[in-house]
Structure 1
Amino acid sequence: MRQILQPAIDLAEKGFPVSEIASYCWKKNAHALQAPGNPHGKDLLIDGQAPDHGQVFCNPFLADTFKELAELGKRGFYEGRVAKAVVDVIQSNGGVMDLEDLKSHATEEVKPIVTNYKGLNVWEIPPNGQGITALLALNILENFNLKEMGHNTAHYLHVLIEAVKVSFADTLWYCADPEKVAVPTTKLLSKPYARDRSKLIDLQRATAKYNQGNPFPVGSDTVYFTVVDTQGNACSFINSNYMGFGTGLVPDGCGFTLQNRGANFSLQPGHPNCLAPRKRPYHTIIPALATDADSGELLCSFGVMGGFMQPQGHVQVLLNMLEFGMNPQQALDVPRFCVEYDRKVDAWLVSLEDGIPQNITEALIAKGHRVVAPVTGHNRSMFGRGQIITKGDWWRHWRILPSSSNVFWAGSDPRADGCALGY
């Protein structure tokens, strides 16, 4: 454990130059650290302010936390000094978590869920994670000839947007902690169910609201990276505080903020995702892998950060490769859309990234979509920030010609501070 954590300890102690987009996001959310009721928020600031691009930031308290983890393992976080600091800051702000709650934390190893899209198996984290949203959307979209529509045409974007809306209608209801409620994952991912749901999509008009379906027979700041070794073993990893700095609360002497994932619970009585003790909320972070459905061979390891944008990003990026033959970097570079439900106006909003032509925007508005466009500059991070590694160039001619090599291809999203590196 010490060997694994030592590079992070060195960075925290010696400092690192803050990258451009990290600085932008830090400043955007600094108010949470600067709040009067957050006395230790200053630990993640420099002279009370978020660091500038290129400014060196040191985090000695986080280094101390990592050292305790290296020495004590899990007990170094869920018991002892760090645990007490976490509980103290929560209780001082009206929370009810106690030391016994932290000590009783348990990790569960889960089996990924999968769907087959035209011979490619796409693997996602199961509920309570929202990976099922991406798989639902792919199953629905399999019922349309997307390539014939053309990439990012109004017709293509309309169908994808509606498929995402249908998928969210299901998962925002059914996706919950499977230890507490019955989540019909298998039935939701069945191809007949997807065919039925695809029939709800009006090819000419946007639908204002979709209800969750009945799969039973009648009677959201995130960090993602991926690594693939020379043997083809892959790691698809994601982690998040949620909502920028999460709660913004910093435990004394620990060097980190507390997340606020509980915000994704429903407070509606009877809802499968309703808040309850020892229950996990609907969770947005979803690392993913894709394999050949016949051979089981790894094809790509990928992820797209960005809260509720994540399953939408997975779908758009995968289709860019599968349907339109884009390499990983091209698949990440092209403009994207983001669908989100605005409770203030009780309607779905569709944001379009700079680069989608004005005539496409106008055509989507004509179909009844509420459109925000163009989204430019650093605000483009709302469309997710992805990373991809593929083994071979299977995306050139999927299911037509075999991959011509085992060369690894990688792409890193221009909307984030990231890069693709060989080692």
Structure 2
Amino acid sequence: MRRRTFLTTLPAGALAAGAAVGAPAAPSQTPAGSGQAGQGAARAYPYTGVGPGDRIMGAPFAGRSTAWGTQGAAATAHPAATLIGIDTLRRGGSAIDAAIAINAALGFLEPTANGIGGDAFCLMWDPAQGKVVGLNGSGSSPRGLSLETARSKAGSDGYLPRYGAVTVNVPGTVHAWWAAHQRYGKLPWRDVLMPVVEMCEQGVPMPQLIAWYLERNMAGFDRSAGIIEDNDNRKRVYAPTGRTPRVGEVFANPDLGRTYRAIAEGGRDAFYDGPLADQMQAYFRRIGGWMTRADLVAHRTEWVEPIMTTYRGVQVYSLGPNTQGLSTNQILNVCERFDLAGMGFQSAASIHVQAEAKRLAFEDRARWFADPSFAATPVEYLNSKAYAAERAALIRPDRVMDRAMPGDAPTQGDTTYFSVADRDGMMVSWIQSNYRGMGSGLVPDGMDGHTLGFMFQDRGELFNLRDGHPNVYAPGKRPFHTIIPGFACKDGQPWMAYGVMGGGMQPQGQAQIIINMVDYGLDPQEAGDAPRWQHEGSSEPTGHPAEGSGVLHLETGVPEETKAQLRAMGWTLGGPNGGFGGYQNVVRQVNAQGPWTYGAATEMRKDGIALAY
């Protein structure tokens, strides 16, 4: 079914839902209803002191209800991506088919957070096997880029730069699509991707938040143009009229449509061992980069065994290193030692324990996490309840720890996230990213004067340059990764495919979702709409040291009494900074009467919607 035909078959309420989005932390958009959609200097909205409207049912801070259905569900960061996922399911596709279509669509619709120049990870419930399975779709550094050369590109601070060819690793996303489709796809490969090709060619109106981020990303590239080897191609794709698209204006990317068409017709090999690979290699030769066709040909997606912990009887699954998934488990393992429910929802005591658990977990993250092919992380020990008990004992109930240190274990941002589930019980938790917003700043040349329409990731920035560190740069090595999907089960059966995007916010956000639902009884939408905390300033796997006890950022909805008590404990508090992540969730509910059902929830801090049918 063509996209426009599908849109006309949906109820009006489903289409209108796409307009219900929250304002960004520091908006540069003119207020809605002003008759303008300019993107000049930031303007204050004239709504000071105005709170949300009143809901007759549910938590007062929830922006909408959970969407329920029996046949399938999807929750994404853009309404059109959710719609194309539901359409794929209705056409008989599996949840993996829908996930691939959604991810391809988001690479066009939300280029500020993801694209085929980046990497992908997945946790999913396989109903045939009756278990959670994991997929690691991260790429390696170029084999022709030495540690010595990487160090020569470091900035004055001694760390790798945030943009440019030295930060580019092999993109893993397309290979991850192919590997997942080969195992779980129902629709023909071409049929999964062609509706997205049409979308890229026809264009889609630009939503509020993505328009804001796109303008900010392009301005950031302009400020750093001196370290980016090519600045023309990105402007041709994302600012074709000399500026980025404004809210409500139709944005198209026919160059990306041509690339998707080649992948739809040629499969994985078109990207990794065919004409697109040739174009990418030629581009890096032109600009003086390092990635080659041989690097692309050598790439493989890895099916991995997830790591699991329990939180008050719920089985919580994560992906191990080179991701930070273990950090979610560690935060929950420490929090389980405390009576958070008794402390009270959004209380100072509860937030204090959660934030201290994060500080402890992130010191282990900085010390140990790396590509397991190059360094052995003591995962079993760090994931254990015994270790969590030792770490929990370090938390003081009345004041902040002076300094958090990594445990003595035995030797051994931006992102898009979405959830989707099908009628057969398959549930997919998928996360994909170019890393720092849009990525490296580099958009490869295409044929006949075109580009390939996507930007390469800058994930290589996360390598460490210090000898002896597990995450030290090496040719053909995968860097430490922040992006992590989440999955949880109850009594060995799937419960929810969930995630919270946003760099180091991800394990903090995932833990808060689990705690909100398990300890405080919130439903999926309420759990995501609840005010969040975010701690910054921990040590990093790149080698950046901790900044004292860091800064604990709190959203506006956290009670003032809670904030005052946290200050008295010694916390340095920060206000809303736009870094609280983006959440999606699809839950499976077993009902006493009738069949199980799906509930879909989405992030009120983003542009997306959740639908179920």
Per the normalisation by structure 2, the TM-score is 0.64
Distance 1:212 1:94, change over 3 A: farther
Is 1:173 aligned to 2:375, yes or no?
A: no
SS in structure 2 opposite 1:243?
Answer: coil
Is 1:277 aligned to 2:466, yes or no?
A: no
- Cα distance in 2 for partners of 1:132, 1:9 equals 37
SS in structure 2 opposite 1:383?
Answer: coil
1:30 to 196, 214, 218: 218
Matches within 5 A, 1:76-115: 76-115=270-309
- Cα distance in 2 for partners of 1:86, 1:125 equals 30
Distance 1:349 1:93, change over 3 A: farther
Answer whether contact 1:301 1:390 (CA < 8 A) is retained: yes
1:220-262 Cα distance to aligned partner (Å, 9 max, x none): 3211111112232101111111111110111111000110111
Matches within 5 A, 1:320-399: 320-341=516-537, 346-347=547-548, 348-373=550-575, 375=576, 379-380=577-578, 382-392=579-589
SS in structure 2 opposite 1:97?
Answer: coil
- Cα distance in 1 for partners of 2:220, 2:455 equals 10
Look up the match of 1:185. 379
Greater length-normalized contact order (CA 8 Å, ≥ 6 residues apart):
2
1:146 to 336, 340, 347: 340
- Cα distance in 1 for partners of 2:594, 2:315 equals 20
Answer whether contact 2:444 2:453 (CA < 8 A) is retained: yes
SS in structure 2 opposite 1:281?
Answer: coil
Aligned-residue CA RMSD (Å): 2.0
Answer whether contact 2:346 2:559 (CA < 8 A) is retained: no
Distance 1:340 1:403, change over 3 A: farther
Letter in 1 for 2:421: V
- Cα distance in 2 for partners of 1:403, 1:271 equals 55
Q: Percent identity?
A: 38
Look up the match of 1:207. 401
Instruction: Point out the more displaced range, 309-318 or 100-109.
Output: 100-109
Distance 1:366 1:287, change over 3 A: same
Answer whether contact 1:392 1:404 (CA < 8 A) is retained: no
Look up the match of 1:313. 509
Distance 1:32 1:40, change over 3 A: farther
Look up the match of 1:21. 209
State how many pairs are aligned.
407
Letter in 1 for 2:530: V
- Cα distance in 2 for partners of 1:33, 1:40 equals 12
- Cα distance in 1 for partners of 2:566, 2:595 equals 40
SS in structure 2 opposite 1:73?
Answer: helix
Look up the match of 1:399. none
2:454 to 253, 256, 270: 256
Is 1:240 aligned to 2:433, yes or no?
A: yes
Answer whether contact 1:124 1:286 (CA < 8 A) is retained: yes
- Cα distance in 2 for partners of 1:318, 1:186 equals 21
Distance 1:15 1:188, change over 3 A: same
Letter in 2 for 1:164: K
Instruction: Point out the more displaced range, 102-111 or 257-266.
Output: 102-111
The alpha carbon displacement at 1:410 in A equals 1.8
- Cα distance in 1 for partners of 2:284, 2:219 equals 18
Per the normalisation by structure 1, the TM-score is 0.91
The alpha carbon displacement at 1:264 in A equals 1.2
The alpha carbon displacement at 1:270 in A equals 0.7
- Cα distance in 2 for partners of 1:233, 1:383 equals 29
1:331-362 Cα distance to aligned partner (Å, 9 max, x none): 00111011111769823121111111233222
SS in structure 2 opposite 1:266?
Answer: coil
SS in structure 2 opposite 1:421?
Answer: strand
Letter in 2 for 1:126: G
- Cα distance in 2 for partners of 1:10, 1:122 equals 38
Instruction: Point out the more displaced range, 118-127 or 71-80.
Output: 71-80
- Cα distance in 2 for partners of 1:210, 1:404 equals 50
The alpha carbon displacement at 1:313 in A equals 0.4
SS in structure 2 opposite 1:5?
Answer: helix
Answer whether contact 1:130 1:171 (CA < 8 A) is retained: yes
Distance 1:72 1:404, change over 3 A: closer
The alpha carbon displacement at 1:109 in A equals 1.1
Answer whether contact 1:392 1:403 (CA < 8 A) is retained: no
Instruction: Point out the more displaced range, 68-77 or 80-89.
Output: 80-89
Look up the match of 1:397. none
The alpha carbon displacement at 1:422 in A equals 1.3
- Cα distance in 2 for partners of 1:100, 1:173 equals 32
- Cα distance in 2 for partners of 1:298, 1:47 equals 47
SS in structure 2 opposite 1:54?
Answer: coil
Instruction: Point out the more displaced range, 236-245 or 71-80.
Output: 71-80
- Cα distance in 1 for partners of 2:288, 2:311 equals 47
The alpha carbon displacement at 1:405 in A equals 7.1
Answer whether contact 1:393 1:407 (CA < 8 A) is retained: yes
- Cα distance in 2 for partners of 1:389, 1:289 equals 10
SS in structure 1 opposite 2:361?
Answer: helix
- Cα distance in 2 for partners of 1:182, 1:148 equals 39
Letter in 1 for 2:346: N
Is 1:40 aligned to 2:229, yes or no?
A: no
- Cα distance in 1 for partners of 2:351, 2:434 equals 31
- Cα distance in 2 for partners of 1:211, 1:89 equals 44
The alpha carbon displacement at 1:101 in A equals 1.5
- Structure 1: gaps of 5 or more residues: 395-401
1:267 to 454, 465, 486: 465
Answer whether contact 1:30 1:49 (CA < 8 A) is retained: no
Is 1:163 aligned to 2:346, yes or no?
A: no
